[in-house]
Amino acid sequence: MSNQIIVVVEHLKGNIEDITFEMLGKGKEIAGATGGELVALLLGNGADGLAGQLGAADKVIYVDDANLAEYNPQAYCKAVTQIVQANSPKMVLIGNTSMGMDIAGGVSVDANLPFIAYASGIANDGSSVTSSLYGGKMNVDSTPSGDGCIVSVIAGSFPADAGKADGSPSVENATVDVSGLSVTFKQLIEPEGGDVDITQQEILVSVGRGIQSDENLPMAEELAAKLGGAISCSRPIVDSKWLAKTRQVGKSGLKVKPKLYLALGISGAPEHIEGMKDADLIIAVNTDPKAPIFDYAHYGVVQDLFDFIPALSGKL
Amino acid sequence: MNIIVPIKQVPDLVEELEINADGTDLDREWLKMKLNEFDDHALEEALLMKDESGANVTAIALDGDDIDKALYAAAAKGADRLVKVTGATGNSTHQAAKALANAIQGMDYDLVMTGVQSVDDRDGQLAVILAHYLGNSHVSVVTGVQASGGSVTVQKEYGAGMVAEFEAATPVVLGIQAARETPRYVPVAKVRRAQKSSTIEEVAAGDAAADAGSTVSKMYKPETGAGAEMIDGSAEDQAAKVIEILTQKGVK
């Protein structure tokens, strides 16, 4: 085993995603505490220009291949596995993101390495990883049993600023075999423009499962209108087709940072928290006093929504 | 087209979760279980494909608490075949994936579709790990599947509403984030009828030795309420206090 901490760089349309910088920041702490080397693994085709943004790393391993021109689950699995096998790192950090969820488990099987998912914390000596499980209701600390392990990191768990450094880390070009693919990239589909851009709203009234029925939405919409804001929601509301995808806050939706985020009947699963925890003021209303949303809210109200919403509306 | 849908039961998060005496796992004795909601979406997407083009849908699950009920419910919704994998041990994703892979390898399939994640998959999401044990390709976080000939076109969701489209030759394993439609509901009476009219085939897990590669040292509840200042009182009192805060913070 080497002393390397490898961070798999996530990029889309020429932009490095924040999760990469979050992992580089944490990776730097681990590398510092263990005397290790922090390596950013960049995969692409003509993407070496991105290395200049990866100054937090001691070294960038860059793989250039036509099959890596666009993100491809199968090509990424093959490439990351081969780099990991060639370098035997102490730890591999991969985002617990849409892309990372394709990669981490596959590398775990093919490189025969332990995999700990949903990491929200990592001990700086690398000996323990905290996973946020059961919808954020339980934390679980795990100890990797062998040499080397893969950790998938929940976005927003570590500050991105700590991993943002311009500079010219040394770039090591590597080649891997990513031929013989049975999955091919076809196209990127941009989100449809919505009637309201929730990322630009200063006040969001956000509804979750607790709203129970689309018949109860007008009550929340009225409240949003009285507050001068817009309505947004958590994933189940979009899956039920009660609100458009453009209103969804969270991992697979939008990241918002309003002046006020009023969370109504949202329990606060990690996937949702990712999208709203940086709001200036978070007020959460839920019937469950143990709902994880109260960990992230500034103010908490344990109350039946259908009593609270009219009470608040009535005072505006 | 043959579609296999691995499903599993997970703790119902609506209930209070308690930790066992060791402090390393949930106290499972009184745990209320329900179908993993993402598996419900995977099953729905498979059934929509069946409705469109006559696919054959197999629901498969590892033996466990309440699993027969979940399999019969799948039959009531339209699954053609029910398979229960017996003799698997451990509760890690790697072990489950290995046991499922052993069972699925002996079956004729084009697609495997399962939930993108579950609330307890500490050592990783099933779809991708199962795919690699099967030696198949995979795509996760899928929100749409269209079959044509020997391949499928899938939509994979990135963040911020961006979607990537891939074409995958079959067989392929898909981790389903959401079906195109809300998963169908079946009344209990229909599940009872399915219980009488359908059979659960049993398949042995075989050599399912696999290792999560890590051990749990501690399970604990995050400090609930540590962040929030709680506002007590009646709904009216609480609303008045919220107005006060909004005014004070200059939001209103």
Measured between CA atoms, how close is B1 to chain A, in angstroms? 18
> Over 70: is that where the pLDDT of B224 sits?
no
Q: Which domain holds residue B238?
A: 222-252
> Over 70: is that where the pLDDT of A18 sits?
yes
Which residues of A fall within a CB distance of 8 Å from B93? 105
Cβ B246–A260 below 8 Å, yes or no? yes
What does the pLDDT read at residue B159?
Answer: 81
State which residue of chain B sits closest to A115, comparing Cα positions: B123
**Position B192 in a domain:** yes
To test the contact with chain A by mutation, choose from B128, B177, B231, B249 the residue with the greatest count of A C-beta atoms within 10 A, namely B128
The DSSP letter of residue B35 is E
Does residue B155 share a domain with residue B79?
yes
**Position A84 in a domain:** yes
Q: What is the pLDDT of residues A285-297, one digit of tens each?
A: 999 998 999 999 9
Measured between CA atoms, how close is A134 to chain B, in angstroms? 4
CATH of the domain at A268: 3.40.50.1220
Average pLDDT over residues A88-111: 97
Longest dimension (CA), chain B: 66
**B-contacting residues of A 182-201, CB under 8 Å?**
182-192
Does residue A11 share a domain with residue A121?
yes
Assess contact for B127 and B138: CB atoms under 8 A: yes
**Position B85 in a domain:** yes
Does residue B245 share a domain with residue B156?
no
pLDDT over 90 percentage in chain A: 89
Cβ B245–A191 below 8 Å, yes or no? no
Q: Is A298 an 8 Å CB contact of chain B?
A: yes
Does residue A155 share a domain with residue A19?
yes
Q: What angle do CA B18, B21, B24 make, to 5 degrees?
A: 75
The sign of the dihedral angle between the CA atoms of B229, A258, B157, A154 is negative
Average pLDDT over residues B156-168: 92
Measured between CA atoms, how close is A177 to chain B, in angstroms? 16
Write a three-state SS string for chain A: CCCEEEEECCEECCEECHHHHHHHHHHHHHHHHHCCEEEEEEEECCCHHHHHHECCCCEEEEEECHHHCCCCHHHHHHHHHHHHHHHCCCEEEEECCCCHHHHHHHHHHHCCCCEEEEEEEECCCCCCEEEEEHHHCEEEEEEECCCCEEEEECCCCCCCHHHCECCCCEEEEECCCCCCCCEEEEEEECCCCCCCCHHHCCEEEEECHHHCCHHHHHHHHHHHHHHCCEEEECHHHHHCCCCCHHHEECCCCECCCCCEEEEECCCCCHHHHHHHCCCCEEEEEECCCCCCHHHHCCEEEECCHHHHHHHHHHCC
How far apart CA A114 and CA B251 sit, in angstroms, is 48
Q: What integer best gives the mean pLDDT of chain B? A: 94
> Over 90: is that where the pLDDT of A177 sits?
yes
Q: What is the pLDDT of residues B29-47, one digit of tens each?
A: 889 999 999 999 999 999 9
Residue B226 — very low, low, confident or very high, per pLDDT cuts 50/70/90?
low
Does residue B128 share a domain with residue B82?
yes
Token pair belonging to A222 = 């009225």
To test the contact with chain B by mutation, choose from A181, A294, A298, A309 the residue with the greatest count of B C-beta atoms within 10 A, namely A294
Number of domains chain A contains: 2
Cβ A138–B219 below 8 Å, yes or no? yes
Bridge-based pairing state of the strands B172-176 and B111-115: parallel
Does residue B239 share a domain with residue B159?
no
Displacement of CA A77 from its chain's centroid (Å)? 19
CATH of the domain at A33: 3.40.50.620
Does residue A71 share a domain with residue A39?
yes
What does the pLDDT read at residue B225?
Answer: 54
What does the pLDDT read at residue A191?
Answer: 79
Cβ B11–A143 below 8 Å, yes or no? no
Number of domains chain B contains: 2
Q: Is A76 an 8 Å CB contact of chain B?
A: no
**Position B64 in a domain:** yes
To test the contact with chain B by mutation, choose from A11, A76, A138, A309 the residue with the greatest count of B C-beta atoms within 10 A, namely A138
How far apart CA B104 and CA A123 sit, in angstroms, is 38
Does residue A154 share a domain with residue A85?
yes
Cβ B214–A114 below 8 Å, yes or no? yes
pLDDT over 70 percentage in chain B: 99
What does the pLDDT read at residue A50?
Answer: 96
Cβ B158–A294 below 8 Å, yes or no? no
Does residue A159 share a domain with residue A61?
yes
What does the pLDDT read at residue B232?
Answer: 95
Cβ B221–A138 below 8 Å, yes or no? yes
Bridge-based pairing state of the strands A138-144 and A129-133: antiparallel
Measured between CA atoms, how close is B184 to chain A, in angstroms? 11
What residues contact residue B123 under an 8 Å CB cut-off, 6+ apart?
A108, A114, A115, A116, A117, B92, B93, B94, B212, B213, B214
**Which residue in the set A74, A137, A141 is minimally distant from B137, CB to CB?**
A74
Higher per-residue pLDDT: B161 or A159: A159
State which residue of chain B sits closest to A270, comparing Cα positions: B119
Measured between CA atoms, how close is B101 to chain A, in angstroms? 13
How far apart CA B203 and CA B225 sit, in angstroms, is 46
**Position A191 in a domain:** no
ipTM tops the 0.90 cut:
yes
Does residue A154 share a domain with residue A41?
yes
CATH of the domain at B24: 3.40.50.620
Does residue B196 share a domain with residue B227?
no
Query: What is the four-CA torsion angle of A112, A116, A122, A125, rounded to 10 degrees?
Result: -30
Q: What is the pLDDT of residues B73-88, one digit of tens each?
A: 999 999 999 999 999 8
Token pair belonging to A17 = 């995603």
What does the pLDDT read at residue A146?
Answer: 78
Does residue B228 share a domain with residue B172?
no
Assess contact for B174 and B142: CB atoms under 8 A: yes
What does the pLDDT read at residue B207?
Answer: 84
Cβ A283–B11 below 8 Å, yes or no? no
How far apart CA A93 and CA A129 sit, in angstroms, is 11
**Position A188 in a domain:** no
Residue B102 — very low, low, confident or very high, per pLDDT cuts 50/70/90?
very high
Q: Is A81 an 8 Å CB contact of chain B?
A: no
How far apart CA B112 and CA A76 sit, in angstroms, is 21
Q: Which domain holds residue A114?
A: 4-174
Does residue A130 share a domain with residue A228?
no
How far apart CA A204 and CA A233 sit, in angstroms, is 9
> Over 90: is that where the pLDDT of B16 sits?
no
Q: Is A15 an 8 Å CB contact of chain B?
A: no
Does residue B12 share a domain with residue B134?
yes
Does residue A242 share a domain with residue A157?
no
Q: What is the pLDDT of residues A206-251, one digit of tens each?
A: 999 999 999 999 999 999 999 999 999 999 999 888 999 899 999 8
Q: What is the pLDDT of residues A196-207, one digit of tens each?
A: 889 999 999 999
How far apart CA B110 and CA A260 sit, in angstroms, is 48
Residue A281 — very low, low, confident or very high, per pLDDT cuts 50/70/90?
very high
Does residue A170 share a domain with residue A26?
yes
To test the contact with chain B by mutation, choose from A101, A198, A255 the residue with the greatest count of B C-beta atoms within 10 A, namely A101
Cβ A315–B217 below 8 Å, yes or no? no
Element (H or E) spanning B96, and its range?
helix B93-105
Backbone φ and ψ of A285, nearest 5°: -120, 125
Assess contact for B25 and A140: CB atoms under 8 A: no
How far apart CA A103 and CA A76 sit, in angstroms, is 7
Residue B65 — very low, low, confident or very high, per pLDDT cuts 50/70/90?
confident
Cβ B239–A141 below 8 Å, yes or no? no
**Position B99 in a domain:** yes
Q: What is the pLDDT of residues B118-140, one digit of tens each?
A: 999 999 999 999 999 999 999 99
**B-contacting residues of A 108-127, CB under 8 Å?**
108-110, 113-118
**Position B212 in a domain:** no
**Position A132 in a domain:** yes
What does the pLDDT read at residue A64?
Answer: 98
